[in-house]
Amino acid sequence: MSRTKRSLPPVPPEDKPDSAAPAAAGEALDESADGAGQGAAVRGVSAEEIAQDIATAIVEKRLPPGTRLREEALGKVYGVSRTKIRAALLTLSRDKLIQIVPDRGAVVSKPSVQEAREVFAVRRVLEAEVVRLFVAQARPRDFERLEQHIHIERTTLEPRTSVGSAREKLLGDFHVAMAECTGNVTLTELVREMVARSSLIAMLYPSSNDPHCSSDEHEQLLRVCRRGDTAAAVACMSDHLQRVEASLRLDAGIPERQLDLVKALLS
């Protein structure tokens, strides 16, 4: 996974309710600041690159959950217009890494333990249906596609490099790919959203699982599907999701360390 080398300078996270200073400080930074801003360390950077850079900062906990992302401040950091920043934020909000809150702007998502459990409960229901449809109608090329995906998981997810979003995305993509094979677009969209939210949850409450456990389980699921045993395949998927959820440190809450990071960014 190639990442932009640039590292995001500290963005003042205005997450203290009493520091709701009107955007006055940043108002001066409007479209005309594009390319002219003093602090414009990086030029010609695309909205996608900015989104990727912020996503990396979120995954690496430099921008902890709950951090407010101000368009003005980000525009200054990247030396681009607020329009471009807005496009980057929209991408991140589609991926559920941030939330756009009315009157508050963009905030790094912070799924609660309750929400995390709800997401997995919903996934079990949705993906049971995915498995039923898959067993009923999967063609040889669908099996080939998923087998190929498992092969990529195995060759890409080396223990030392499989951290953060890349690992979660790859493992999550298997579930999305299986949903796509059913041909039910609406179901696939729902699965895609739930998988994206699961990825953020896994970043917040890191899994103690070896990624290869998940690959093994994906492989086993596929074997059961091949046999055409719908009930066993549904049980297999349900057990897999249960194990993924159980491996997350949901009971530990969000590490206190992250709150210290916010203070460090503010100082």
Interacting positions 33-92 with Zn ion (CB under 5 A): none
| Span interacting with Zn ion, options 6-14, 104-112, 131-139, 210-218, rule CB under 5 A | 210-218
What distance in Å separates the CA atoms of residue 30 and residue 12, rounded to the nearest whole number? 18
CB of 241 to Zn ion, least distance (A): 7
Nearer to Zn ion, 247 or 258 (CB): 247
Q: What are the φ and ψ backbone dihedral angles of 160, each rounded to 5 degrees? A: -85, -20
Helices H / strands E in the chain, number of each = 11, 3
Contact by Cβ (8 Å): 242, 258 = no
Nearer to Zn ion, 84 or 149 (CB): 149
| Span interacting with Zn ion, options 123-131, 178-186, 207-215, 222-230, rule CB under 5 A | 207-215
Nearer to Zn ion, 67 or 214 (CB): 214
Tell me the CA distances in angstroms from 77 to 34, 91, 127, 163, 236, one per residue in order: 11, 18, 41, 26, 47
**Residue whose Cβ sits closest to Zn ion:** 214
Q: Which of 206, 197, 204 is nearest to 97 (CA)?
A: 197
CB of 169 to Zn ion, least distance (A): 12
| Span interacting with Zn ion, options 39-47, 148-156, 212-220, 229-237, rule CB under 5 A | 212-220
CB of 221 to Zn ion, least distance (A): 8
Tell me the CA distances in angstroms from 50 to 4, 40, 76, 106, 123, one per residue in order: 9, 13, 12, 14, 30
Contact by Cβ (8 Å): 169, 175 = no
Nearer to Zn ion, 133 or 202 (CB): 202
CB of 174 to Zn ion, least distance (A): 6
- The HSE-up count of residue 204 (CA atoms within 13 Å, CB side) is 27
Nearer to Zn ion, 52 or 214 (CB): 214
Task: Note the residues at the interface with Zn ion (CB under 5 A).
Answer: 214
